[in-house]
Structure 1
Amino acid sequence: MTTCKDLAPVISALTERYGWTCRPVPNRSDVLELGTGRVWPDSEPLRILVRVDEENNVFASDGGVTMLRLRDGGFDADDSLLPSLWNLALEEYGLSEVDDRLYVEAEMQLAADAVNHLADAMLAIDGLRLVAVPKQARGRALSDEVEDYLRTVNAVVKVRRKPTIRFPGGLVVRPTLSIDTVDRRQVLVQTGARTSRGQAYDHVFTTFGLVHGAEVPMDHRLAVLSGSVQSWQQSRIWALAQFTYVGFWDHRETLRDFFAGPSRSQDRILVPEGIEIPLIT
């Protein structure tokens, strides 16, 4: 188990110089989340995941969020130019990558500078969004379509986009949407990007893992994934359902039912009648 005390030398240096914070990640006893004091261009807090190994070496990662933001911004992995720019950026900043996750590793006495360098690099690499396909030239994002759809649902009385939700203990999340209905206030909705199923799953899982730790009522959480239930790995669906209701854009009528009030289904996986998902054994 890793605690913030294990990172005391690093946290002390970063807090004094840059105002960093540290807290454990719910349901991940070996991982800590560092608040960097920085924000992305859209004002979302920039956070880093950290663990300490048995030899007191520090491993810090962006959790894949940098690439996820690029994909949401139109970054096309099939375009030879953009991946080349990505690789050049990693080389320039001396970062390593595994499965689209940026990371650095350093001995404890050098970790403060290494982790701070990672945060700077994440912001710089995010600038590749400027050379991505302009928003008006590509299809609408799933988040836009879900927002428009939910605004037509009779039970929905208020929709807030990218709200900053603060919980006791300093936890801050920024889901895709916050929804008020006739009988519920602040239902948190997180959509998954269409461009990468793996990144979409990780982003939704991280969001609701944090929300779960804040003890938000289960019927105040909703993940909306692209496609149909059949197009997703069953293990991922069931993993998400431990933390949130899970809906699918191709079955959007179930989203309307979810917000309809007392008649909403108690099944956390929202699918039309006649569709069953086998239990994972």
Structure 2
Amino acid sequence: MKKLSARRRHPLAAIVVLLFALAATGGLYAAFAPAGEAQAETASAQSLAIEEGEKLYAVGCATCHGTGGQGTSDGPSLVGTGAAAVDFQVGTGRMPLQNPGVQAPDKPRTYTQPQIDQLAAYVASLGPGPAIPTEDQYNPEGLSGEEIAEGGVLFRTNCAQCHNFTGEGGALTDGKYAPQLDDVDPKYIYEAMQTGPQNMPAFPDSVMPEKEKRQIAAYLGQVNSSEAKTPGGYKLGGFGPVAEGLFAWVIGLPLLVGVTVWVAARNAKARKS
């Protein structure tokens, strides 16, 4: 008893008790504090992002798309387009559109990524639409060679009609065109398939599952990499068999015929001499 009493009177006893009390209080707070506080902080941050996004929208977008995103004669409605559409259009520099035209070209972007996120938050608040994908959704890393080959089949089935076999792009009607895809971030490829920008059809998850979009992004990354091989020889821009066949008939075949005639003429001349 005397030893125990001495320990209680030790100068450090009060500090030890205080530390234990603080640890217990912190543990109990973490265990029983309502998750609503964290949710409230998230909601507050989201509300702030929407507020800042609305300010950016009023300056850079409202002239064409209307003060409430309802659209005007100069720009379509943004209600229900979702955050992914904003992240794609503004992130690739297509919006804001500098000059009216049949198609918005990609160019250096005007806004920083935090500002794009704020704009996306505001537009998303106007109506439900596709959200900005996470890295796990669009990152093609980790896919096997077989899965990437399946991505090539998917691309040739759904995309090559406009973008050509290796994503080299191509002309459409009325001055429109399908852009090149050789140096596009997988996130923007995913968002384009989700939202269907401009002339492109949309491929939501109900039509094309998330994994298939990743496979297409992986295929494009592989065929357009600096290490890509062309077993058939020079790929002529990767425009596919039509362009290559035209080249063979118009240039290759006449060249072969010309060489053959030249060789035959020289042989005939040599025999006469």
* TM-score when normalising by structure 1: 0.25
Structure showing the higher strand proportion among its residues: 1
* TM-score when normalising by structure 2: 0.25
Structure 1 or 2, whichever has the larger Rg, is: 2
